[in-house]
Structure 1
Amino acid sequence: MELKIFIVLFCALFTGGHSLKCYECTGPIGSCVNKETTCPSFANVCSTQTTVTGDNVSSMQIKSCTVSEACTSSSINFGVTRTVTSTQCCNSDLCNSKYAPDSSANSPNGKQCYSCDGLSCTNKLKCIGNEDYCIKATVPAESGPQTLKGCASKSVCDSTSSQANAGFTGSCCQGNLCNGAKSVTQNLIFLLWPLFFYILLH
């Protein structure tokens, strides 16, 4: 009887004490150097993210330990520029050695949203891939809060409320052209879009 109890306890300790190991790196695609790391107890998967802004104007690779709830891909498209993040997750040691595929080259999905071009927000933008929501966002700028409009995926819309502390606020809707066409004044915020996209998607 005592031997059986010992075996059960030994197995429980052995399986419960195993920590997942993942590759970890951050940098442009092609220059990201894998480093082995032991994950904290709350992390249950290894992940690889590929983020592409514009027509491959910039691309970023991130590998890390994470939780399965974070294994989502996202896209946010304001017309002038678009940022797409592709995520792949796995749950065995060092399984995230490969790059996540670039999924930015998708076809229009039939949905349309209003977008801004610097002077007006009456432009109609064709949404792409998994961008099935319209978004209206406000971001900070030296001249005051600026309004951006466009298409977004559900994962982006789900995360907008958590960005309020960084000065970013946004709201999403699902009907065609549901994000309004009111004109706004835009300034140098267009030059800073990639930075705000990176903050939003990570």
Structure 2
Amino acid sequence: MFVMILNTNTGHSLSCYECTGSCANQTVKTCPSGSSQCLSTTTVTQVGDTNTKVKIKGCASACQSGSLNIGTAKTTVSCCNTDQCNLQDAPDPVPNGKKCYSCDGKSCSNTLNCSGTEDRCVKATVTSGGHVVKGCASKSICDLAHVPGFKNVSCCEGNLCNGAQSVSQSFLFLCCSLLSYFLLH
């Protein structure tokens, strides 16, 4: 006797918490087709003495956990792939001892303390406005092919590795190169 079993389950739709702002009121949303992860982001911006914290939770088709800190703004992203796994806010990481340069509008020689998984220094150009930003980033953020809002993203390892070479260092390198050329030819 031949028995056929039909699978009537057409697939499970992921459900995630959804909110924007303070996230005091979170609702559960069934994610659209193609969404395979839930995300939770926390962005803290500082203008003068004023800190503003904005949280976003929802469904995502692609999500990468990590952190990007450019001094005046820090975004932490947490991704997960089970129903309603984004109930908790993205973590507020603790300092990890790494230091990178950051910009404040006047100078890009400020020192920034990195935290959590921020294990790289970053230098990028803001897509709108074209000004340079520097700061700390997680390897996972640096590995992205495209970081939304930024272009010309470059990351490096080592404390303060995202600083510009000084003119004297560049001049010294040029002089040594020329001297080597004349001595060896």
TM-score exceeds 0.5: yes
Specify the alignment match of 1:153 in structure 2. Answer: 138
Aligned: 1:173 with 2:156: yes
Q: CA offset at residue 65 of structure 1?
A: 5.5
Q: Is the 8 A contact 2:66 2:140 kept in 1?
A: yes
Specify the alignment match of 1:52 in structure 2. Answer: 43
Q: Which runs of 5+ in 2 are unaligned?
A: 167-185
- Would you tell me which structure has more strand in proportion to its own residues? 2
Specify the alignment match of 1:103 in structure 2. Answer: 91
Show the 5 A alignment for 1:186-197: none
Q: CA offset at residue 33 of structure 1?
A: 3.0
Q: Is the 8 A contact 2:95 2:114 kept in 1?
A: yes
Q: CA offset at residue 178 of structure 1?
A: 1.2
Q: CA offset at residue 89 of structure 1?
A: 2.9
Show the 5 A alignment for 1:1-202: 1-3=1-3, 6-7=4-5, 10=6, 13-15=7-9, 17-23=10-16, 25-28=18-21, 29-35=23-29, 37=30, 39-40=32-33, 42-43=34-35, 45-54=36-45, 57-64=52-59, 66=61, 70=63, 72-90=64-82, 95-96=83-84, 99-104=87-92, 106-142=93-129, 145-159=130-144, 161-163=145-147, 168-181=151-164
Identity of aligned residues (%): 35
Residue identity matched to 1:83: T
C-alpha distance 24-100 of structure 1, shift in aligned 2 (>3 A): closer
User: After TM superposition, where is structure 1 displaced by more than 4 Å over at least 4 residues in a row?
Assistant: none
Q: Is the 8 A contact 1:47 1:89 kept in 2?
A: yes
How far apart in 2 are the matches of 1:167 and 1:74?
16
Q: Which has the higher Rg, Structure 1 or Structure 2?
A: 2
Residue identity matched to 2:79: T
How far apart in 2 are the matches of 1:180 and 1:65?
34
How far apart in 1 are the matches of 2:125 and 2:134?
9
Residue identity matched to 1:79: G
How far apart in 1 are the matches of 2:94 and 2:150?
32
Specify the alignment match of 1:200 in structure 2. Answer: none
Q: Is the 8 A contact 1:25 1:64 kept in 2?
A: yes
TM-score by length of 1: 0.66
Root-mean-square deviation (Å): 2.8
- Would you tell me which structure has more helix in proportion to its own residues? 1
C-alpha distance 111-24 of structure 1, shift in aligned 2 (>3 A): closer
Q: Which runs of 5+ in 1 are unaligned?
A: 184-202
Q: CA offset at residue 167 of structure 1?
A: 6.0
How many aligned residue pairs are there?
Answer: 161
